[in-house]
Amino acid sequence: MMKKLCMVLAVILFTACSSDDAPKDYTSENEQEIQAYIATNNLTVQSSNSGLYYIIDTPGTGVAPLTTDRVKVAYKGYLTDGTVFDESPEEGVSFTFLNSLIPGFTEGITYFKEGGSGTLIIPAHLAYGSSTNGSIPAGSVIIFDIELIYVNYKTENEAEIQNYLIENELTAQQSGTGLFFTIDEPGDGRQPTITDNVTVTYKGYLTDGTVFDENTTGIDFNLNGLISGFAEGITYFQEGGSGKLYIPAHLAYGNTGVSGIEGGSVIIFDIALLSVN
């Protein structure tokens, strides 16, 4: 079902009933259908220059997404006759890049901030055009009730870290960037800057305990070449220091992730700073 949202408008099937094999333009009849739906349901809507109609029930108070952002959205998709063609779980569904979705959904989500909710009324030229898609007939106006739960996981990651700390009876400090860190041993030697070379041992794992990398003998790094959360975290220790770094995705591997680490993941490092070189 999730493939419905991920189709790109340019990839449409030409209708067999068209004598010149050109896709049918449903703009005029879609507009009439939308206006009738609005009147019948006594809705107050806003519209954009693209032809999208939308209703903002709750604007939200967090950040507004860019089209390149990762989002988590709860939604229900249906036709103007009420036929439901897709619905997310209550906790929502994550999309790695908002701009990978149909244009009307992509545009519509950008009118909300994190925590916002409302309705998108999408004409066919911003959805599936003149192609049939599953149970959605060609040329259909489609409607989504949506809730924008998270943008780029900053809020969700912070909640995940806070829950991890509580569950494991840990305390941590938080920096202005969103990094959490625990200093078990502060150390008594040199304190590195972000451009220094350091020798460290570390164990990297997810909040579920899955280990993705480890070095127990010591390895040299230039801090400036590492993920920003790790580099920043090391600067809070002196030589001989040890502790933990709790790194949200925007300071680690972001929306796309890397091998063994899914996009949007919080990662944790047990670290020991052996030397500053």
Q: What letter represents residue 234's amino acid? A: I
Report the C-alpha gap between 33 and 29 in whole angstroms. Answer: 6
pLDDT, residue 255, reads 84
Residue 9: DSSP 8-state: T
Q: Where are the domains of the chain?
A: 3-151, 154-276
pLDDT, residue 96, reads 84
Report the C-alpha gap between 52 and 112 in whole angstroms. Answer: 14
- Asked if 3-151 and 154-276 have one fold, the answer is yes
Using alpha carbons, select from 28, 23, 30 the residue that is nearest to residue 9: 23
Q: Which pTM value belongs to this model? A: 0.73
DSSP string, 18-83: -TT-PPP--HHHHHHHHHHHHHHTT---EE-TTS-EEEEEE--SSPPPPTTS-EEEEEEEEETT--
pLDDT, residue 221, reads 96
β-pairing, 142-151 with 71-79?
antiparallel
pLDDT, residue 272, reads 98
Using alpha carbons, select from 188, 87, 206, 93 the residue that is nearest to residue 145: 87
pLDDT, residue 21, reads 54
Q: Does domain 3-151 have CATH number 3.40.50.800?
A: no
Report the C-alpha gap between 181 and 132 in whole angstroms. Answer: 52
Sequence-distant (≥ 6) Cβ neighbours of residue 214 within 8 angstroms: 202, 203, 204
Q: Give how far the C-alpha of residue 186 lies from the chain's centroid of Cα atoms, to the nearest Å.
A: 35
Using alpha carbons, select from 193, 207, 178 the residue that is nearest to residue 236: 193
Which stretches in the chain have pLDDT values below 50? 1-20
| Region 154-276: CATH code | 3.10.50.40
pLDDT, residue 62, reads 83
pLDDT, residue 12, reads 24
Note whether 194 and 175 are within 8 A (CB).
no
User: CA 160, 162, 168, 173 torsion: positive or negative?
Assistant: positive
